[in-house]
Structure 1
């Protein structure tokens, strides 16, 4: 008789391979849905595009669409950048000043994005700023990012995330981020967002000289 497997056994390498393949397939499906949605929005407008049309273009069912994106708004506003940025912040040397660490973390996070991903981000940002139905969702996303950054910087400094110092730092950084995004959209992506944001954070780090 074979012995029962322990629930806490170390995963077999083949288990990890299967999981990795499954995650890659899910990421590809998610990316395809978003790409087709953005294409349809550009061709026929956000309001005129239905979830059913997006699902058909992505060759998935509407129920599959909703497994990845709970609403049509989410296909524009959702992304996976916050976890990447959080990991990059935690990887910075502890002796770096807060703004220097954040600036380096943003550089690292952007390095994980290729040109196509930046193009999709530009398209999503344009939609988010021009479609009234998306603006409220963007506000929710900003609050989530602010909370994430506050938690990460408070953890790094051993401070309370609600302290005035942490909130002032995160508020200033988010202001710089929004200004960079607006410039990026106005320029239609002519200057890459990583360059705009790094330059703006440099001004902030230097005390905002004008």
Structure 2
């Protein structure tokens, strides 16, 4: 994260600039639509030059599809709090809910952009694809080989519960309604398998 004391001043400033550009882009896209916003407008909103924009993002689309390092680090710290001995379903549930709450601003922006520019739905999906990829790697790392089929089933079930909540969530609905529905869906899904097999 940008205030990590382990990072030097130069690295922190670079992370801050990258975050400012992405935040400005997502805000403008959500307000006006992706196609109506130029690189120059994003740079001006982030208080950087056009050249600086391209130092961090080769294209306008990359502000959506490239994972934010700070967001990814927060999710990693959330996953790290759950010991391998904790039941897997509980660990997945707590991680995804806390993780989604940590990226509320960008997650809401992506949802609104997807609604306003349906033709770019695949691009917007790529903006959060890293979440499921990182979760899958984490689940497989913490699970003994003989238990992987059950672990993968649990993760897939959790992701389906989240997707169902996402599909129900309208772009202008409060974020907490999405979280509440996701929590309820996860509770329902968790009752669908034999919890003593958790790992």
TM bracket, shorter-chain basis: 0.7 to 0.9
Q: Which residue of structure 2 lines up, in the alignment, with residue 74 of structure 1?
A: 62
Aligned to 2:79: 89
1:11 is matched with none
Measured after TM superposition, the shift of residue 99 of structure 1 is 0.9
Match of 1:175 in 2: 160
Matches within 5 A, 1:9-28: 19-28=7-16
Give the total of aligned pairs. 188
Q: Aligned in 2, Cα 1:153/1:73: closer, same or farther, shift over 3 Å?
A: same
CA contact (8 A) 1:77 1:128 kept: no
Q: Describe the shift of the 1:166–1:138 C-alpha distance in structure 2 as closer, same or farther (beyond 3 A).
A: farther
- Paired residue for 2:197? none
Deviation at 1:70, TM superposition (A): 3.0
CA change 1:191–1:91 in 2 (3 A) is closer
Aligned to 2:190: 205
The answer to whether the 8 A contact 1:176-1:201 is kept is: yes
Structure 1 segments (4+ residues) deviating >6 Å: none
Q: Distance in 1 between matches of 2:127 and 2:106?
A: 17
Q: C-alpha root-mean-square deviation of aligned residues, in Å? A: 3.2
Deviation at 1:82, TM superposition (A): 4.1
Q: Based on CA coordinates, which of the two structures has the bigger radius of gyration?
A: 1
Task: Kindly indicate whether structure 1 or structure 2 has the higher relative contact order, using CA contacts under 8 Å at least 6 residues apart.
Answer: 2
Q: CA deviation at 1:51?
A: 1.0
Q: What stretches of structure 2 of length at least 5 have no aligned partner?
A: 194-199
Residues 71-125 of structure 1: per-residue CA shift (max 9 Å, x gap): 21232344434443343223213222211111122344356x3xxx523421222
Does the 8 Å CA contact 2:67/2:128 hold for their aligned counterparts?
no
1:99 pairs with 2:85: no
